[in-house]
A and B are shown apart, each in its own frame.
Chain A
Amino acid sequence: MTAQLDTALLVTVLAGGAIYLCLSRRFLRKLLGFLMLSNAANLVVLAMAGDPTGARAPVLHEGVDPTTAVDPVPQALILTAIVIGFSVAAYLTVLLYRIYVDSGTATTPRLERIAGGSDGLDDGVIR
C-alpha cells in the first residue's frame, strides 16, 4: 500500500471542520458538522482499500489476475455505512426541528435558559 497522503489530508480537514461545526451553538451548523464527520469516517473506510491508482475494478473472470484488482470489501462496508449515516442524519434533522418547534430556539445556550427552573420531569404520565 502506498502512502495516501492526499486522502489523509482530506480526512483531517473534513474531521477538523466537522468538530468545529459540531461544537457551534447553532443547530444547523451542528447538523452539517455531523454530516461532514460521517463523510470523514467513510473516507477512512475507503482509504483502507489501498491506493486505487492503476488497479482494475474487482470484476473477476478467467484470465484476470486477482492481485491487480482493488479490494472490494471496503466498498461494501462504505455502502452500508452511507445508508446508516443517511438514516441517522434524517433522524437528527427531524429531532433538531422538533426541538426548535417545541422550544422556539435553534441555539443551545438559549435552550438551557428557556428550560430555566423547570426540568420538565414532572407530571410525566405518558399513556
Chain B
Amino acid sequence: MSVLVGLPIALPLGTALLALLFPRPSTARRFGVVAVLAFQLGFSVWLLETVMRQGPLVLALGGWAVPYGIVLVADTLSAIMLGLSSLTALACVLYGFAESLREHEHPLRVPLLLLLVAGIHLAFLTGDLFTLFVAFEVFLLASYGLMTLQMVATRTRRALPYVTINLVGSTLFLAACAFAYGLFGTLNLSEIAVRSAELVGDVRLDLLALLFFLVFGLKAGVFPLYYWLPVSYPALPTPVAAFFAGMLTKVGVYVLIRMFGTVLPAELGWLHGLVAWVAGLTMVIGVLGAVGQSRMRTILSYHIVSQVGYMVLAVGLFSPFSFAAAIFYVVHHIVVKASLFLVGGVVLRIHGTDRLDARGGLWTAAPILSIAFLLQALSLAGIPPLSGFWGKFLVIREGLSQGQWTLVLLSLVASVLTLVSMLKIWFGVFWSKQPEGVPLRLTPSSRRMTAAVCLLVLVSLGIGLGAERVFEVAEHAANETLDRAGYVQAVRAVNQGLKGGEGP
C-alpha cells in the first residue's frame, strides 16, 4: 500500500505530460483535468484518514535502503498539506475555466499548473533534504513559467524581484544542503534528526539551523525578506495568483514546521526565540504595508506577509500546542487567502479595476460575491465563529501561557489593523455607490466564477464551525511532527520490507 504514497506526485505529473500531448484546449481536456484534480482531492482525504489510523506510510524509491536511498514519507502533516493543495488547485482551475473561454486558454497554462502541483507535493512528501531542494526547483520553475505566461508588457518587470530573490534563495538552499551533508554525512531527514541530536551545542549546527531559517523564511516571505511578494502577486492572472497566495508561501511554512519540529533538535532555544520575534515584526510590518495601499489585490498581498507572521510565530513558540495552532492556522489561511484572491479577480472582471476609490456598488449588484468576501474578510481579521478567529485564538492563548506579552500585543495590533483594511476594501469596492454612467460588467462568466469562489467559502465555513474536529487533526499532526523517535523508527522500518535489505 505504501506505493500509493507516490501517487500525489505521479498523478499531476502524468496528467501534465498528457495535457502537453493534447495541447489544444478542449472541453474534454478541461473535464479530464478537473476529474484528475477531484480524484486527487478524494485520495488526499483517504490518505489523511489512513495515516491518522495506522501511522506514517513510507516508500523507499527504487528499493534502496535507508539512509542510502530517497524515501517518501506521508504522515498526518503531509497528508493535510496534500489535501489543501489539491483543494486549492481544484478551485483555482475551476475558476480559471469559468473566467476564460476555451478558445482563449493558453495551451501551456494547465500543464504548468499541474507541474507546480507535482513539485509542491514532492516537497510535502520527501524525506530527503536534497530531494526537497529539487522539489523546490521543480515548483519554482513551473511558477516562473506561470507567472510570465501571457504577461502584458507593462507588467513583466514585476516578475524580476520574484525570480531574483528565489534564485538567491535556491543558491543558499543548495549551499545549506552541502553543509548539512558535510556535517551529518547524510541527506536523509530522519538520519539527520538522529545525528543532529548528538551535535547539540556545536556552533556548526547553530549556523546551519540559522541558514535553514533564512532560506525557508525567504520562501515564506518573513520580514525583512518579503519585498518580492506584494510586488509580483498582484500582477498575476487571478487563478494563478490565488494558488500562489494560498500555497507557495505556505510551502515555506510547512518546511519550517518540519525542520524545526522533526529534523533539528529541540534544544535550539535561542533560534526559536529569534523566529518568534522575526514573526512578530512580520505581522506588524506586513499589515502596516497594507494600510497605504489603494488596490484590493495589493492589500491582500501585504496581508499574506502579515498572516505568515502568525504561523511562524506559532512555530517559534515551540510547544506541541503551538505547533497544532500553526497547522490549524495554515489550514485556515490557505483556504481563506485563495478565496479572497479569487474574489479580487471577480471584482477586477466586473469593474475593470480593483482600485478602491474608482468604483463601487457591488453590494446590490452581486450580493452573493459580497457575502463571500465579507465572510472571508472577517475570517481573516479573526471575528468569531469564523475559522480565522480560532487560528488567532490558539496562537494568542499559547503566547499568553508562555508569558510573551509583547508578541501577543503585536499580534492583537496586527489583527485590528487587518480588520481596518478589510473594512476599507468593503467600503471601497462593495458598499460605496457606483459612479453614474459606468456600467457593471456582470456576465454569466462572472457568476460561474463566483460559484468557484463559493466552493472555498463553504470549506472555510466548515473549518470555522467544525473547528474542534479540525483542531484534533492538527493536534495529532503536531504531536506526530514533534515525535522525532517515532519518525525515525517509521522511516527505518521500511528497510525490513526490502529484498536483502539490512538496517544501517
Contact = CB atoms under 8 A, between A and B. Distances in A.
Contacts of A103: 153, 156-157
Interface in B97-135: 100-101, 104-105, 130, 134
Given A41-B178, A120-B235, A95 B153 contact: no
Given A48-B182, A102-B154, A103-B157, A123 B163 contact: no
Contacts of B234: 121
A127 interface: yes
Interface stretch (B14-22, B144-152, B271-279, B382-390): B144-152
B353 A99 contact: no
Given A84-B134, A99-B157, A121-B234, A92 B178 contact: no
A120 B150 contact: no
A118 interface: yes
A37 interface: yes
Interface SS of chain A: helix
Interface string A91-127: 1100110110011000000010001001111111111
B354 interface: yes
A52 to B, nearest CB: 14
Given A88-B137, A121-B354, A126 B156 contact: no
Given A88-B141, A92-B167, A48 B155 contact: no
Interface string B136-177: 010011001100101111111111100110011011101101
A95 B148 contact: yes
A127 B100 CA distance: 5
B168 A37 contact: yes
Interface bin, chain B:
35 or more
A6 B432 CA distance: 67
A126 B152 contact: yes
A73 interface: yes
B352 interface: yes
B186 to A, nearest CB: 9
A74 interface: yes
13 contacts: A48-B179, A48-B182, A88-B141, A92-B163, A95-B159, A95-B163, A98-B148, A99-B156, A103-B157, A121-B235, A122-B353, A124-B155, A127-B101
Interface of B: 100-101, 104-105, 130, 134, 137, 140-141, 144-145, 148, 150-160, 163-164, 167-168, 170-172, 174-175, 177-179, 181-182, 187, 234-235, 237, 295, 297-298, 348-349, 352-355
Given A37-B171, A111-B157, A119-B295, 17 more contacts: A30-B164, A40-B175, A41-B174, A44-B175, A48-B179, A88-B137, A91-B141, A96-B160, A103-B156, A103-B157, A115-B157, A118-B154, A123-B353, A124-B348, A125-B352, A126-B152, A127-B101
